[in-house]
Amino acid sequence: MNMLEIYNKDISYSYEEGKSLLDILQDSGEIIESPCGGKGYCGKCKVQIIKGKLEKPTEEELKYLSKKDLEKNIRLGCFVYPKGYTCVKFLNKEEKNYKALSDGYIPDIELNPIIYKEVITWEKPTLKNNFSYEETLEKSIGEELYHNDTEILKALANVDNEEKVTLLYYEDKLIGIESGDTKDELYGAAVDIGTTTVVVSLIDLNTGKEIGTETSINPQKEYGLDVLSRIDFVKRKDNGLYLLQKAIVECINFLLENLCNKNGIDIQNVYEIAVGANATMMHLLLGIGTNTIGKSPYATIFSKEKNLWAKSIGLKISSFGRLYCLPGVSSFIGADIVAGAVVANLKDTKDNVFFIDIGTNGEMLLSKGGKLVSCSCAAGPALEGANISCGMRAAEGAIEGIQFNEDGVELQVIGDAEPIGICGSGILEAIAELHKKEIIKKSGRLKRKEDLEKEKRHILAEHLMEEGKKRKVILYKNGDEMISITQEDIRQVQLAKGAISSGFYALLDFMDMGMEDLDSIVIAGQFGRHLKTGSLTGVGIIPENLKDKINYIGNSSKTGAMICLLSKDARKEMEDIAKDIEYFELSTKEGYEKLFTKCLTFN
Amino acid sequence: MNMLEIYNKDISYSYEEGKSLLDILQDSGEIIESPCGGKGYCGKCKVQIIKGKLEKPTEEELKYLSKKDLEKNIRLGCFVYPKGYTCVKFLNKEEKNYKALSDGYIPDIELNPIIYKEVITWEKPTLKNNFSYEETLEKSIGEELYHNDTEILKALANVDNEEKVTLLYYEDKLIGIESGDTKDELYGAAVDIGTTTVVVSLIDLNTGKEIGTETSINPQKEYGLDVLSRIDFVKRKDNGLYLLQKAIVECINFLLENLCNKNGIDIQNVYEIAVGANATMMHLLLGIGTNTIGKSPYATIFSKEKNLWAKSIGLKISSFGRLYCLPGVSSFIGADIVAGAVVANLKDTKDNVFFIDIGTNGEMLLSKGGKLVSCSCAAGPALEGANISCGMRAAEGAIEGIQFNEDGVELQVIGDAEPIGICGSGILEAIAELHKKEIIKKSGRLKRKEDLEKEKRHILAEHLMEEGKKRKVILYKNGDEMISITQEDIRQVQLAKGAISSGFYALLDFMDMGMEDLDSIVIAGQFGRHLKTGSLTGVGIIPENLKDKINYIGNSSKTGAMICLLSKDARKEMEDIAKDIEYFELSTKEGYEKLFTKCLTFN
């Protein structure tokens, strides 16, 4: 019998022969990290085989397995195909104390939410005025009700014995009715769905105050670490779209419930959720297929804002609750970036501002006194610590600061813990240091051990390791365990730097501007916030002479969602800006290849 | 252990002590007839106790149990409270070959459905025209899409490789998109939800042709036979509203699936369901509380038409499918009656027409050359064969025709079967006969056996049975089995007749009209259709001299729903008429009591 037992969970599943272990586990609803989406190149879906007949690892699989792994019979789920009774054990490496960026600069706005309440005295039907409750209410408020939703009717059937009722309005249309006076209870939630992180903020719509924030890893990462692997997952799995939608909706519900419980607020008094996210995350939230985003011409199914009933996708706020999806521009310039444009006030400015959101994709907006042009480049996952040999996310144990002295290496580790890897900002700082201390050349090539010896930098030379032509810099060593930066890691960062800074120059060029014309550089997003200004300019992502003009606005996607909750004018502005942003496709620029190559070098 | 086993079904339920057997069965999802809703006065929820410790029947329960019942240990579910292990057997008395009225007069209308399709060649986004699919479509059709629903976006994500697409319009708004050319497949369903019967018709919206019809008993009857017991069920049971809504939605889905399967039509090509129903049935369909309908001032929560997404209540047609609930006037004059007014053309007529829908409630509309006034009276369930000692619905085995000759009694039985009861039209005909043959007096009192003997009508006298002061007429006898009409049965019919004909005269009076002013009497509804004109006039429900002016229009509720599917103008007319119908509350009429009493007598 084909039975798969999970050793740590005391649970068994029957399975179909011919499926990979990873597929069987995911189909059974087990959560197992597989950032590459089961394509066999991330090496993350390791499980220990306690019992079971498996083919020996192929050479491909062996690339991802250490000697210790092999001793413990640890295998990659996507490579092995179980037969008969099999028992596996999950390797629990939970990320602890992960803290996403939730704060940020909040612009001044006038409190004027699209959702508001009014209390009236309810005049119920009588034998003489024997109209329906619906008509009686319509007469009281002097307008007709929506008649494409039953929630308000359901509520009307329950306010029978109340004298006072509270009316809930959305865009000056009555959308809900509650017994008694509930005017004081009026909340909204601002949500940023990042590919990696989800942030939910609970907002008091009466005061504009942010009551609290909860963050979590985006649970969709179990099905694919980056946007493309999730798009591929949707394509490959019959119910992939459903699984991804379910994961994110449950995550938002969970975070919001926590927030409400902590603050003694009834989740039924949350009436709107506003969401900022990139195009793929927005499609997945609404359960809309992402195939077209993943292939040329990379068109979204939708980019404009969406106004929906929150319950329509399973969000568990008030039954009258609304869902507002912020407007985006294209596959590459999503609602998160439009939100940033509003938060950074790029439209109403007389200044020339360059806005960059650094992540797997680098998204850029250039405002020339209010005229907006955007572009996007594939920076790759290196800056987020992925595709880096010892890369990890910015969690406890991640090296985030590095200084090379003539005495050796000094490390700063998140949580002051024993180092277990390097996070994205760490790798950037390390490479900036390697460049500054001339351990790498302009081309990015690590110097030879021999050269460092010649330069009498013996201690640094000791940190250099050479295996044939392959070189790496050892940052930390403890017995067999070793954390290093390889030549390949440096190449990955160079590619990211090349992509971003070529976009930077191309966009300036497109607007007939030079660096000297810029009044300010705005860095947005999760990753940017962790960076020291020196790291950005040190590797040349941003030119050194703009160092003093760099500003951080933090999670502008969430902030944008928040101001959409608080001000209907800001929402209108957001929708207008989304229409105004021009998109410039880098690959269509003459001489772009050359510019890109030039941008790969360190200066 | 508290375990209830169902003998005929080989299934067991654990139960909570202290609940009645009926409640336990219903809570477990078993369907058991309980027309009175478990209040202990209908005597229908009989089950045989195979094993179990039960208290002895109370005097109240004994009223409903025959000697045979007691011998077989048959008890009423609502009276007994099981303890410990109990095994019961259902008494299967399924109604066979029940055929509800689905046909009827269909007025001429111009085919102009609110839902229609258009085929276009799909121009997908390109690198040059890199808009979203949504915007590209908007440009093609020159208008903005609804942005409060995701179905069209979901569909857009799936039409990627199609050259031609079919657009689905509702009220000239795009609501759906399908791959390829599907113009030929455009169906709707007209539904009549009666308290007793559900009728579903499948309509080809391209041709206006009725493809087929399916009917079923309204499954809500298991929770309560009439409107009031269902309202009470909703009040009494926590999830009562949910159960009743689920029952009717599943019933419509089931009937429609059957119809589609039989006719080789994909249910995904059904795009609109139009429903005619009384106010309570309409509230239950939408899951709206009915409490206010059940008590003074008997206000509905809503009466106006409703336009909803069909999926919002679980109807399984096209994901773009719409649900149109026809407009009603009040608790008493529902959408079924408004539909009748349109079908009978009461608004655009220069004639004076009296429209009556006879059922548990008698609903009446009087059109004085197009000016409409309505009233409603509680006829009671007698005319539908309920509250009648040997009453049953118009199913196989029901006596539907009776003639008293000097030789004895001649019976017509539905399905030419052995008689097992009398249906509503049968009881009416029987009483008309009893009146005609002077077996009852004007007051409704059965003559004494002695009197008939004196009149030398010996054979008829033999059919009269006297038990003390109680009299009844035996229609059929076979061993112990006996079908009879009791004095009490006659009283019930008299009350119905009194209610209807007093409404008739009151409404004429209200409009300053006499019988002679009427050009036509229109009889609508399930029950009316089964009646012979002679029965209606014979007992005096309709005055004898109007006999030749009586017309039947059949199930005008379903016909009304059908014409709403086929013509948006007819739909508009329906909505206008609903606003124009004045409601006249009989109880407010001076001298109504006196009129009612007068109408109780046979003339």
Sign of the four-CA dihedral A367, A370, A376, A381: positive
- Which residue in B has a C-alpha nearest to residue A305's C-alpha? B147
pTM > 0.95 = no
Length of chain B in terms of residues written: 603
CB-based contact A286 B153, cutoff 8 Å: yes
Residues B198 and B167 in one domain: no
Residues A228-240 pLDDT 10s: 899 999 999 999 9
For residue B96, the model assigns a pLDDT of: 33
Yes or no: say if B578 and B304 are a contact pair by the CB < 8 Å rule: yes
Q: What are the chain A neighbours of B135 within 8 Å (beta carbons)?
A: 303-304
Buried b (16+ CB within 10 A) or exposed e, B294-307: beeebbbbbbbbbb
Pairing state of beta strands B173-179 and B187-193? unpaired
- Nearest alpha-carbon partner for B57 in B72, B322, B333, B170: B72
Q: What is the 3-state secondary structure (H, E, C) of A514-577?
A: CHHHCCEEEEEHHHHHHCCHHHHHHCCCCCHHHHHHEEEEECHHHHHHHHHHHEHHHHHHHHHH
Domain-located, residue B390: no
Task: Kindly report the average pLDDT of chain B as a whole number.
Answer: 88
Length of chain A in terms of residues written: 603
**Mutation target among A126, A129, A132 for the B interface, most CBs of B within 10 A:** A132
Tokens of A413: 């580790």
Q: Which of A189-198, A207-216, A255-264, A383-392 has the lowest mean pLDDT?
A: A383-392
Distance CA B470, CA B352 (A): 44
Domain-located, residue A552: no
Domain-located, residue A130: yes
Distance CA B276, CA B279 (A): 9
A292 at B interface, C-beta within 8 A: yes
Residues B332-343 pLDDT 10s: 999 999 999 999
Q: Which of A104-113, A238-247, B462-471 has the lowest mean pLDDT?
A: A104-113
The phi, psi pair for A364, rounded to 5°, reads: -130, 145
Q: A196-210, B270-284, B344-358, B440-454: which has the highest mean pLDDT?
A: B270-284
B313 at A interface, C-beta within 8 A: yes
B124 at A interface, C-beta within 8 A: yes
- Nearest alpha-carbon partner for A399 in A430, A360, A431: A430
A348 SS3 class: coil
Tokens of A179: 């017994």
CB-based contact B127 A297, cutoff 8 Å: yes
Yes or no: say if A115 and A272 are a contact pair by the CB < 8 Å rule: yes
* CA distance to A142, B106, B116, B463, B571, per residue, from B109 (Å): 35, 9, 17, 53, 11
For residue A99, the model assigns a pLDDT of: 37
Last residue of a domain, one of A149, A179, A209: A179
Q: What percent of chain A has pLDDT over 70?
A: 95
A149 at B interface, C-beta within 8 A: yes
> What is the mean pLDDT of the segment spanning A568-579?
94
Band of residue B323 on the pLDDT scale cut at 50, 70, 90 = very high
Yes or no: say if B430 and B419 are a contact pair by the CB < 8 Å rule: no
Domain-located, residue A559: no
Residues A211 and A288 in one domain: yes
For residue B32, the model assigns a pLDDT of: 75
Residues A64-90 pLDDT 10s: 888 878 888 889 998 999 988 888 888
Residues A120-173 pLDDT 10s: 987 888 877 778 999 998 888 888 887 667 899 999 998 866 789 999 999 888
**Mutation target among A136, A140, A150, A304 for the B interface, most CBs of B within 10 A:** A150
- Nearest alpha-carbon partner for A95 in A256, A262, A194, A221: A221
Total domains present in chain B: 3
For residue B101, the model assigns a pLDDT of: 40
Residues B319 and B251 in one domain: yes
Domain-located, residue B439: no
A298 at B interface, C-beta within 8 A: yes
Q: What is the CA radius of gyration of chain B?
A: 27
On the question of pLDDT at A100 being above 70, the answer is no
The CATH number of the domain holding residue A205 is 3.30.420.480
A134 at B interface, C-beta within 8 A: yes
**Mutation target among B234, B242, B288 for the A interface, most CBs of A within 10 A:** B288
The phi, psi pair for B86, rounded to 5°, reads: -135, 140
Residues A43 and A20 in one domain: yes
Range of the domain at A54: 3-90
Yes or no: say if B34 and B78 are a contact pair by the CB < 8 Å rule: yes
Yes or no: say if A358 and A380 are a contact pair by the CB < 8 Å rule: no
Tokens of B482: 């006996």
Residues B190-216 pLDDT 10s: 999 998 889 999 999 999 999 999 989
The phi, psi pair for B284, rounded to 5°, reads: -65, -35
Last residue of a domain, one of A291, A325, A359: A325
For residue B382, give the DSSP letter: G
Q: How far is CA A410 from the centre of its chain?
A: 31
Q: How many CA atoms lie within 13 A of A100 on its CB side?
A: 23
Beta bridge partners of B452: none
Residues A286 and A196 in one domain: yes
For residue A106, the model assigns a pLDDT of: 66
* CA distance to A145, A149, A307, B176, per residue, from B312 (Å): 18, 9, 17, 16
Distance CA A239, CA A26 (A): 11
Dihedral of the CA atoms B292, B294, B296, B302 (nearest 10)? 40
Residues A488-545 pLDDT 10s: 999 999 999 999 999 999 999 999 999 999 999 999 876 666 677 777 888 888 898 8
| DSSP codes joined into one string, B211-276 | EEEEEEE-GGGGG-SSHHHHHHHHHHSTTHHHHHHHHHHHHHHHHHHHHHHHTT--GGGEEEEEEE
- Nearest alpha-carbon partner for A315 in A281, A261, A275, A278: A275
Residues B14-59 pLDDT 10s: 888 888 898 888 777 677 777 677 778 777 788 888 888 888 898 8
Distance CA A178, CA A165 (A): 6
On the question of pLDDT at B184 being above 70, the answer is yes
> What is the mean pLDDT of the segment spanning B279-302?
94
- Nearest alpha-carbon partner for B322 in B272, B252, B275: B272
B586 SS3 class: helix
CB-based contact A153 B302, cutoff 8 Å: yes
Size of interface A-B (CB pairs under 8 A): 146
On the question of pLDDT at A96 being above 70, the answer is no
CB-based contact A133 B301, cutoff 8 Å: yes
Residues B489-540 pLDDT 10s: 999 999 999 999 999 999 999 999 999 999 999 998 766 666 777 778 888 8
Other beta carbons within 10 Å of A574: 27
Band of residue B147 on the pLDDT scale cut at 50, 70, 90 = low
The CATH number of the domain holding residue A131 is 3.10.20.880
Sign of the four-CA dihedral A27, A31, A33, A35: positive
A491 SS3 class: helix
Last residue of a domain, one of B179, B198, B232: B179
| Residue bearing tokens 């490390």 | A411
Residues B274 and B312 in one domain: yes
CB-based contact B303 A134, cutoff 8 Å: yes
Residues A15-48 pLDDT 10s: 888 888 988 887 776 777 776 777 787 777 888 8
Buried b (16+ CB within 10 A) or exposed e, B582-597: eebbbeebeebeebbe
Beta bridge partners of B179: B165
Domain-located, residue A554: no
Other beta carbons within 10 Å of B53: 10
Band of residue A355 on the pLDDT scale cut at 50, 70, 90 = very high
Yes or no: say if B499 and B379 are a contact pair by the CB < 8 Å rule: yes
**Mutation target among B131, B148, B298, B338 for the A interface, most CBs of A within 10 A:** B148
Residue type at B168 in one-letter notation = L
Q: Torsion-angle region of residue A303: left (phi > 0), alpha (psi -120 to 50) or beta?
A: alpha
* CA distance to A437, B291, B332, B418, per residue, from A154 (Å): 70, 11, 20, 48
Cis peptide before B297, with omega less than 30 degrees from 0?
yes
- Nearest alpha-carbon partner for B325 in B275, B289, B287: B275
Q: What percent of chain B has pLDDT over 70?
A: 95
For residue A530, the model assigns a pLDDT of: 64
Residues B319 and B211 in one domain: yes
Q: Which of B303-307, B475-479, B506-510, B517-521 has the lowest mean pLDDT?
A: B475-479
For residue A504, the model assigns a pLDDT of: 95
Residues B140 and B212 in one domain: no
> What is the mean pLDDT of the segment spanning B549-570?
92
CB-based contact B306 A147, cutoff 8 Å: yes
CB-based contact A306 B150, cutoff 8 Å: yes
Q: What are the chain B neighbours of A131 within 8 Å (beta carbons)?
A: 299, 303
Band of residue B311 on the pLDDT scale cut at 50, 70, 90 = very high
On the question of pLDDT at B158 being above 80, the answer is yes
B64 SS3 class: coil
Distance CA B339, CA B547 (A): 24
Distance CA B316, CA B318 (A): 7
Residues B175 and B193 in one domain: no
ipTM beyond cut 0.85: no
Of B125, B301, B305, nearest to A153 by CB-CB distance is B301
Domain-located, residue B492: no
> What is the mean pLDDT of the segment spanning A409-434?
88
Residues A141 and A257 in one domain: no
Residues A175 and A191 in one domain: no
Residues B237 and B281 in one domain: yes
The CATH number of the domain holding residue A33 is 3.10.20.30
Domain-located, residue A11: yes
A293 SS3 class: helix
Q: Torsion-angle region of residue A549: left (phi > 0), alpha (psi -120 to 50) or beta?
A: alpha
On the question of pLDDT at B362 being above 50, the answer is yes
Q: How far away is chain B from the Cα of A565, in angstroms, using its nearest Cα?
A: 18
- Nearest alpha-carbon partner for B379 in B436, B332, B443: B332
- Nearest alpha-carbon partner for B330 in B510, B563, B582: B582
Going edge to edge, which strands form the sheet with A421-422?
A408-413, A398-405, A421-422
For residue A527, the model assigns a pLDDT of: 66
| Residue bearing tokens 């994909």 | B266
A587 at B interface, C-beta within 8 A: no
